[in-house]
Amino acid sequence: MMNYRLCVAMLLTVVLPLSGCSKNHESSQAENTPAVVVNGVTLEVVKLAAVPDVLDVVGSVRARTSAAVSTRIPGSISVLRVREGDRVKKGQLLAQLDAQENQATAAVATAAVDEARRGLDEALSRKKLAETTFVRYQSLLAEQAVSRQEFDVRQTEKDVASQGVARAESRLAQAQQGARAATAVSDYTRILAPISGVIASKQVDLGATVFPGQPILTIEDEGSYQLELSLPETVAPKVKTGTPVQVTLDAVGSSFTAKIAEIVPTADPSSRTFVAKIMLTQKGLKSGMFGRATLALGSTANGIIVPKKAIVERGALTSVWAVDSKNIAHMRIVKVGRQTGEQVEILSGLSAGDSIVVAGALKVTEGARVE
Amino acid identity, position 78:
S
Whole-number Cα distances in Å, 147 to 21, 23, 62, 154, 370: 167, 162, 88, 11, 141
CB atoms inside a 10 Å sphere around CB 58: 12
CB atoms inside a 10 Å sphere around CB 46: 20
Q: What is the mean pLDDT of residues 242-260?
A: 87
Say whether pLDDT at 89 is over 90: yes
What 3-state class would DSSP assign to 241?
coil
| Confidence bin at 94 (pLDDT 50/70/90) | very high
Q: What is the mean pLDDT of residues 158-165?
A: 87
Say whether pLDDT at 49 is over 80: no
Which has the closest alpha carbon to 103: 73, 80, 70, 79? 73
Which has the closest alpha carbon to 43: 314, 303, 307? 307
- The DSSP letter of residue 40 is S
- The DSSP letter of residue 236 is G
Instruction: Check residue 360 and give its pLDDT.
Output: 78
Rg value, the chain, Cα: 47
Say whether pLDDT at 1 is over 50: no
Which has the closest alpha carbon to 320: 328, 302, 308? 308
Residues sharing a CB contact under 8 Å with residue 104, sequence separation 6 or more, in sequence order: none
